[in-house]
Structure 1
Amino acid sequence: MQLFSAEQYQPDLQQRFTTLRDSLLHLLPYARIEHVGSSAVPGAVSKGDLDVAVVVLLAQHAATVQTLLALGYTEQADTLRTEALCMLNAGAEMPEHALQIVAARSEFEDFMRFRDALLAEPALVQQYNAVKQAASHLPAEAYRAAKSAFIESVLQRLPASTEQGHSA
């Protein structure tokens, strides 16, 4: 798996995020749209993909997923799916990106908590980069497992939080 330096992919993905956020807010004015993943963190290496969290109230979650599916998004196979989390991939006619539909105040707001931890502590970005680079030659499942272990270790050190204040 090829990893790109931040300089290689972040400027383009930041612009794509801004355009996508504006489009999603027009469609889902009740949602909070958050840039998450490595592309949201200066200096982070990445596969060059764009990840976006769409945060909605639990009561709006299922309807939001259905709205997005009707627009051509597809549900990501072989990933965790609950009433508070649904991973969607952009349709073939859209620029490549993934949406994580997250219920507000759920455990799945960890996408933002992890991003914010990396933004607050540049040394963590370097550690995360090292984990990803060391695992980049592994099969996709092992690569994801290495990243997940690091993410969990960071999240376990953070104080519990019920409100997210950062907006990308």
Structure 2
Amino acid sequence: MEKVNFFDSELFNKSVEKTFLLNKNKIKMLLPDVDIQHVGSTAIPNSLTKGDLDIQVRVCAEQFPKAVELLSSIYEHNEESIKTDTFRAFKDDTTNPPLGVQLTIIDADFDFFWKLREVLLANINYRDEYDNIKKEYEGKSMDIYREAKHKFFQGLMETPEFKNMISKSNNT
């Protein structure tokens, strides 16, 4: 059973920033017209994190098949993740910190990672609630933590703050 452990995100700031910029540049060389976002807990100052870096690569629908092909040439497919016509997950466990790359079609069903980050950045109560979930599952099963995390994010997506993010993205 894989166990989950959390750390203060501030411990990873330098390595996260370096790894993010290196991978952003690497992706931009292959896909110059995409939106690349630092998402996940390391994008939230003073939060708890598993110590990995998450990047969201946002593309238009026409770019998606080519983006899958090009990202597959530099990253491993994350076989533990779902795969749809609008979402693919990749990883690189050799980077410091380990890297997850979420490829999404802009405004499609999985284009929510950056919105969750923005809601968490804007609301300390949600950040505290999320960190409390992490504290509760410290040292416990990764699968059980992922279920609790999923439930939290499903609830966060029902908040007025998140719904406001949807209307903002639709007006751009």
Shared fold per TM-score greater than 0.5? yes
CA distance in 2, matches of 1:8, 1:70: 31
Gap regions ≥5 residues in structure 1: none
2:13 to 10, 15, 18: 10
TM-superposed CA distance for 1:68, in Å, is 1.4
Q: Distance in 2 between matches of 1:100 and 1:129?
A: 22
| Equivalent residue pairs, number | 163
Moved over 2 A (4+): none
Taking the TM superposition and a 5 Å limit, the aligned residue runs for 1:76-95 are: 76-90=78-92, 92=94, 94-95=95-96
CA–CA distance in 2 between the matches of 1:91 and 1:12?
A: 14
1:152 aligned residue: 154
Is the alpha carbon distance of 1:11 and 1:121 closer, same or farther for their aligned partners in structure 2, counting shifts above 3 Å?
farther
Distance across 2 between alignment mates of 1:102 and 1:129: 26
Pick the aligned partner of 2:23 from 8, 11, 20. 20
Distance 1:45 1:164, change over 3 A: farther
For 1:14 and 1:110, the matched residues in 2 are separated by: 22
**Alpha carbons of 1:164 and 1:2: their partners in 2 closer, same or farther (altered >3 Å)?**
farther
Provide the rounded CA distance (Å) in 1 between the counterparts of 2:141 and 2:65: 33
Aligned residues of 1:135 and 1:143 also touching (Cα < 8 A): yes
Distance 1:79 1:69 in 2: 15
For the pair 1:131 / 2:133, whether they are aligned, the reply is yes
Unmatched tracts of structure 2, length 5 or more: none
The Cα shift of 1:91 comes to: 6.5
How far is the alpha carbon of 1:142 from its aligned partner? 0.6
Indicate the percent of aligned positions where both proteins have the same amino acid.
Answer: 24
- Tell me the SS of whatever aligns to 1:29: coil
2:40 equivalent to 1:37: yes
Aligned residue type for 2:46: G
Check whether the contact 1:85–1:100 (CA below 8 A) recurs between aligned residues.
Answer: yes
User: Normalised by the size of structure 2, how large is the TM-score?
Assistant: 0.87
Cα distance, 1:138 vs. partner?
2.1
Report if the CA contact (8 A) 1:86-1:100 is conserved. yes
- Normalising by structure 1, we get a TM-score of 0.89
2-structure distance, mates of 1:91, 1:4: 18
Partner of 1:106: 108
Contact 1:3 1:48 in 2 (8 A): yes
User: Secondary structure in 2 aligned to 1:67?
Assistant: helix
CA contact (8 A) 1:5 1:43 kept: yes
User: Cα distance 1:140–1:91, how it changes in 2: closer, same or farther (>3 A)?
Assistant: closer
Contact kept, 8 Å, 1:14 with 1:40, in 2: the verdict is no
Residue 77 of structure 1 deviates from its aligned partner by 1.2
Deviation at 1:14, TM superposition (A): 2.2
Q: Which residue is equivalent to 1:115?
A: 117
